[in-house]
Structure 1
């Protein structure tokens, strides 16, 4: 006789595991209605406790007991009988309240992986890889997927960090810490790199919802350096600290005092004389340009440079400062629009050779009203090292980009990997 399973909610009864045939299972499932990226909260009682997803309509409902929203939903709606627990991915048939054996059903197993992606350390070396989404059967590349919802700078910062290999591997293999910021970041990154998505894009809705409650101000930050430093300061309070330190932290020496200080990112100041020139920015040729090598030499590698590198990390984060720090009436319009000309491989002071991995750009939307400031429009350019192809993530859109044209946009934050 099969083992008896005890239902977790109140007013439930002990029921055996049930093995259903594939045809029966499929008539209870509508893939088009499912979305596991939503905040996991009961749509009736607004509670996050003991929540299930109806696999026929996609509603999130609580409990399995006789008076629970799940039970009543199954009783009152034909074919709404299959429910997946959003915490442990077990599947139950209601109103009979019995667990469904998923061991021999590939569709249910795939749905479980869509909810809770699984990763093995020996397979991460092959990432990124071509995948197929479950709903439409379309191809996508994990790690290079579009982001739905309102575009926010902090989301692109998370994606940029998720392309630093040691950080990515740590987050993919660690267990989620529920109810914490690190847990939300982990879940978001695991969806980004999932090979078993329902659709070829992800939503940061749960992560953003967490920030709205605990760190709302950071959703509206418009300075990539502030967003990056804030996120790093949160993550180093977690077990991720050692991984981040070994991958991204370096040291510089202040020449005037011989003091050695650690850094998480290197700030390069653009020439101030260009901040008030060519405000329209209509043509790239109209804008002042400067070489990355010149910026590095001026700050770190000349007799008059105020600093020198003492140690460089495996992954170097470079921030281009386009704001003077003064409070301006139109901070976006009055930004420094100098174009930075950078190669894809560069030698940093000390004969350290680095290759560009990620490039955060701002494709500013100009205001038609002179009394209204321009609007930031962030995009992220990432290198797929398996085929040397660059891709640009612009919200839900993922587009291949020519590497020779990357410097034609206003770059703000870059990730360089030592080669």
Structure 2
């Protein structure tokens, strides 16, 4: 027997719920139709309160009382096994007793994947392929993400962030961010656990719940059905996660620990203008007073450090030549660099190299 408190106004009613292991309807559970990647809303009332999933057809219904949608569905469709999407308890309707059977633990793990610290540490050491119910093989952490509707910019961002080991390890354990009240943080953590879960029913994951949290947090700046720039989305996501994770304005977060860097900027100015700036008190952060600015030939080197989360770099120009099959790109190497390698290998010459321009001029003395 199990006692459940039901709050009715200011009164408390105690309902006795029978706990059984021998349910005759367990063989009707169809794991192939179960999909917990979507928002937990009742398919009839569209409410997110007290939602149950039918383990026979996979649809969501609200409540389990005699006037609830789940109770009605059990009578009309003859589907009797339901799981509470919040408490993970399984009930038989319309009988109303709770089912306690170890065979249902796999469904609970798919609904809410769990990791402990020992399992997280073994992820990179023990990489094994897993097989879904449909027979497809997948590698945990490398599963595909469904492109709902022009949401590929989100998928590529998520896949790249899943390769950052400290970030992954942090979000695999919900206790690390349980203090946060941000739905975006918790949806990102759920998506991370589903991507790295080794007992999924499918070989792919749908980021639907995460996308709903993104639309709400960004005020529909990023939404389903509208293409956006992946770099812009990643910048917004990292800054938003950092703001939602830190406990105070001055505290750091796992986002800054993984991605924040510093760019050293050296600026040469005339000593007269530098003296005027010092007299006017217009020194910037970490200027020469802190970093030791030097003055030579009436020129002062002012050094400052700028923090950044994203730094754009120029890519080298693509090679122009391909092989005879026009598939493999033939790398281009500067001819003067080849001569340099040859001369260095001789080791019998004193070579003094002066790289003055992009043409790599070489002076041999």
| Correspondence for 1:210 | 213
RMSD: 3.6
> What is the 5 A alignment of 1:223-262?
223-239=229-245, 241-256=252-267, 257-262=302-307
- State how 1:5-404 maps to structure 2 within 5 Å: 5-6=4-5, 13-20=15-22, 24-78=24-78, 80-102=79-101, 105-106=102-103, 108-127=104-123, 129-133=127-131, 135-150=133-148, 151-175=151-175, 180-215=183-218, 216-219=220-223, 220=226, 222-239=228-245, 241-256=252-267, 257-270=302-315
Conservation of the 8 A alpha-carbon contact between 2:242 and 2:254: no
Compute the displacement of 1:8 (Å).
8.5
Structure 1 counterpart SS, 2:20:
coil
Q: Do the aligned residues in 2 keep the contact of 1:5 with 1:99 (CA within 8 Å)?
A: no
Indicate the SS of the match to 2:313: strand
Q: How much does 1:153 deviate?
A: 0.8
Q: Return the offset for 1:288.
A: 10
**Matched position secondary structure for 2:262:** strand
- After TM superposition, the score normalised by the length of structure 1 is 0.60
Structure with higher strand content: 1
Asked if the contact 1:12–1:97 (Cα under 8 Å) also holds between the matched residues in 2, the reply is no
Q: Does the Cα contact within 8 Å between 1:12 and 1:65 map onto a contact in 2?
A: no
Cα distance in 2 between the residues matched to 1:247 and 1:7: 46
SS at match of 1:217: coil
Structure with larger RCO (C-alpha < 8 A, sep 6+): 1
Structure 1's 136 and 178: CA in aligned 2 closer, same or farther, altered over 3 A?
A: farther
Q: Distance in 1 between matches of 2:213 and 2:256?
A: 26
SS across alignment from 2:159: helix
* Displacement of 1:66: 0.9
Deviations 1:131-182 (A, max 9, x none): 5345235432110101123342123212211221111011000246676111
Residue in 2 that maps onto 1:365: none
The question of whether the paired residues in 2 share the 8 Å contact of 1:119 and 1:172 is answered with yes
Which is greater in Rg? 2
- Over residues 166-220 of structure 1, what are the superposed CA-to-partner deviations in whole Å (9 max), with x where a residue is unaligned? 1101100024667611111111111111122111110011111233344222244
Distance 1:188 1:290 in 2: 44
Corresponding residue SS for 1:261: strand
Cα displacement (A) at 1:95: 0.9
Q: 1:290–1:187: structure 2 CA closer, same or farther, 3 Å change rule?
A: farther
Q: Secondary structure at the match of 1:122?
A: helix
Q: Return the offset for 1:285.
A: 7.5
Q: Give the direction of change, closer, same or farther, for the CA distance of 1:270–1:149 in structure 2 (3 Å limit).
A: closer
Q: TM-score, normalised by structure 2?
A: 0.68
**Structure 1 residues 181, 135: CA separation in 2 closer, same or farther (over 3 Å shift)?**
same
Measure, in 2, the Cα distance between the counterparts of 1:290 and 1:148: 41
- Compute the displacement of 1:12 (Å): 10
Paired with 2:133 and 2:328, the residues of 1 have a C-alpha distance of: 45
Q: Deviations over 1:78-127 (max 9, x none)?
A: 2x11101111211111111121113xx23x00000000101011121221
Distance of aligned partners of 1:259 and 1:284 in 2 relative to their CA distance in 1, 3 Å threshold: farther
Alignment partners' CA distance in 2, 1:69 and 1:41: 12
Asked if the contact 2:264–2:305 (Cα under 8 Å) also holds between the matched residues in 1, the reply is yes
In the alignment, the residues of structure 2 paired with residue 112 and residue 169 of structure 1 have an alpha-carbon distance, to the nearest angstrom, of 21
Alignment partners' CA distance in 1, 2:14 and 2:43 = 21
Q: Report which of the two has the higher share of helix.
A: 2
Equivalent residue, structure 2, for 1:340: none
